[in-house]
């Protein structure tokens, strides 16, 4: 029997806050507690820290600091991008283009807009979860006011051809938003190279605190304000800034980007060993997502004849934290919209397991998962009513 250990492999859901980030944040809860809008030294200190974080975010994504707006996270940034652009373009048209595999932070705002009378095209994806840029071109009409396609998928790790999609949108003078929450720290992100007019990011996905994110808005992009009130964030997102959170975001994005080359190579090697070990060691198993255009940290596999929820419970009992589908849907029994869009029949979509690696994972963690998983799947299959005659 393997020595039981604690293995966290759910970094697409959230990450631990790096010690350097906690350390950077702490003074802004205590001695540096000033309100950035006030007019004395204590306030200027807080204001300076917020602006330093803005510069760090801008540098990480190839933007100008004045194009970075702090938000309460990825969900708010996505909501603002989608609803804000639509509100500013009401006279121009009523059609939005997005993909069928977006995070709910984009999909649900689109669905809410449909209820208000807007029309939304949900582009299909191929079996690997890729959007075809030609499909974007075909979907564009004179009424199209926004294209929103994520940079990398949180569930299956597929990286989208956003540069090509951005080019198509720009050829038609349509603003392009990309949800880059999973991309930051995983591979180089540059708003110009991606052709992004808007880009969402979230600190807790790359070693920063929860409840802090940012929306990049390219200069000149027409977008409504998100929150009315004081003049914070250039009057577009009012409310006293979450100074400790913003400081943490700035420090975390610095660390994530500077350590990316070493981290992503090591993480990709662990990912590949996990994928190979699972596919070779367990029959009736398939890899979900793209074989190569894939986040360095993402493993997503489906086991026929088993339920994802049962796999998670068994792994949890063995000290392993993982996920099935995305964190937001794992409480429901609906098959994941992402796996369904990739064409998986529901019985395959139900038996999915997502393991997402982070910098603190080790080869010993990978060994442990590969040692215990075959037994878990075999046991569940023995009890499975889904197995039928096979
Ligand atoms: C986590 C996530 C979000 C939401 O970010 P929060 O900061 O948790 O609100 C949006 N999009 C993607 C792709 C994500 O992975």
| pLDDT score for 227 | 96
pLDDT tens profile 335-388: 789 999 999 977 778 899 999 999 999 999 999 999 999 999 999 999 877 665
pLDDT tens profile 38-56: 999 999 999 999 999 999 9
Longest dimension (CA), the chain: 76
pTM here is 0.96
Tell me which residues have their CB closer than 6 angstroms to ligand 1.
73-75, 78, 103, 105, 150, 154, 179, 181-182, 202, 204-205, 213
Q: Please, are residues 244 and 208 in contact by the beta-carbon 8 Å criterion?
A: no
Q: Whose CA is nearest to atom 15 of ligand 1?
A: 154
| Residues known to be catalytic | 328
| pLDDT score for 328 | 38
Separation of 80 CA from ligand 1 center, angstroms?
13
| pLDDT score for 253 | 98
Separation of 213 CA from ligand 1 center, angstroms?
9
Separation of 85 CA from ligand 1 center, angstroms?
19
Pairing of strands 298-303, 352-356: antiparallel
Please state the atom number of ligand 1 nearest to the C-alpha of residue 153: 13
Please state the atom number of ligand 1 nearest to the C-alpha of residue 105: 10
| pLDDT score for 175 | 98
Please state the atom number of ligand 1 nearest to the C-alpha of residue 78: 10
Please state the atom number of ligand 1 nearest to the C-alpha of residue 204: 7
Place of tokens 């009513």: 385
Separation of 92 CA from ligand 1 center, angstroms?
29
Ligand 1 pocket test, candidate residues 79, 129, 154, most atoms within 8 A of CB: 154
| pLDDT score for 384 | 79
Ligand 1 pocket test, candidate residues 10, 13, 73, most atoms within 8 A of CB: 73
Rounded to an integer, the average pLDDT of 298-318 is 95
pLDDT tens profile 314-337: 999 999 999 997 333 445 567 789
Rounded to an integer, the average pLDDT of 5-22 is 98
Q: Whose CA is nearest to atom 5 of ligand 1?
A: 74
Separation of 74 CA from ligand 1 center, angstroms?
5
């Amino acid at each position: 029997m393997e020595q039981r250990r604690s293995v966290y492999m759910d970094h697409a859901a959230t990450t631990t806050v790096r010690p350097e980030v906690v350390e950077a944040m702490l003074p802004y809860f205590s001695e540096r507690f000033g309100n950035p809008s006030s007019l004395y030294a204590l306030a200027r200190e807080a204001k300076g820290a917020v602006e330093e974080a803005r510069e760090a975010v801008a540098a990480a994504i190839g933007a100008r600091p004045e194009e970075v707006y702090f938000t309460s996270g990825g969900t708010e940034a996505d909501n603002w991008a989608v609803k804000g652009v639509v509100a500013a373009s009401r006279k121009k048209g009523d059609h939005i283009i997005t993909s069928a595999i977006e995070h709910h932070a984009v999909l649900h705002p689109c669905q809410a807009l449909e209820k208000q009378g807007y029309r939304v095209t949900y582009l299909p994806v191929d079996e690997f979860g890729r959007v075809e840029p030609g499909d974007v071109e075909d979907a564009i009409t004179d009424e199209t006011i926004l294209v929103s396609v994520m940079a990398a998928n949180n569930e299956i790790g597929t990286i989208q051809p956003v540069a090509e999609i951005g080019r198509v949108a720009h050829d038609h003078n349509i603003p392009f938003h990309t949800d880059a929450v999973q991309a930051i720290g995983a591979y180089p992100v540059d708003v110009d190279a991606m052709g992004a007019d808007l880009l969402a990011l979230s600190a807790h996905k790359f070693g920063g605190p929860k409840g802090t994110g940012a929306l990049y808005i390219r200069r000149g992009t027409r977008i409504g304000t998100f929150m009315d009130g004081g003049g914070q964030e250039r009057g577009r997102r009012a409310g006293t800034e979450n100074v400790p959170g913003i400081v943490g975001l700035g420090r975390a994005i610095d660390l994530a980007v500077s350590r990316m080359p070493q981290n992503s190579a090591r993480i990709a090697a662990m990912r590949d060993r996990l994928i190979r070990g699972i596919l070779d060691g367990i029959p009736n198993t398939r890899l979900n997502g793209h074989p190569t255009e894939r986040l360095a940290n993402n493993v997503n596999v489906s086991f026929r004849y088993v339920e994802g929820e049962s796999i998670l419970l068994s792994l949890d009992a063995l000290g392993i934290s993982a996920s099935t589908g995305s964190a937001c849907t794992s409480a429901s029994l609906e098959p994941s919209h992402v796996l369904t869009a990739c064409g998986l029949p529901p019985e395959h979509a139900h038996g999915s397991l997502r393991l997402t690696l982070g910098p603190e994972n080790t080869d010993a963690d990978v060994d442990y998962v590969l040692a215990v998983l075959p037994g878990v799947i075999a046991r569940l299959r023995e009890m499975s009513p889904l197995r039928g005659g096979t």
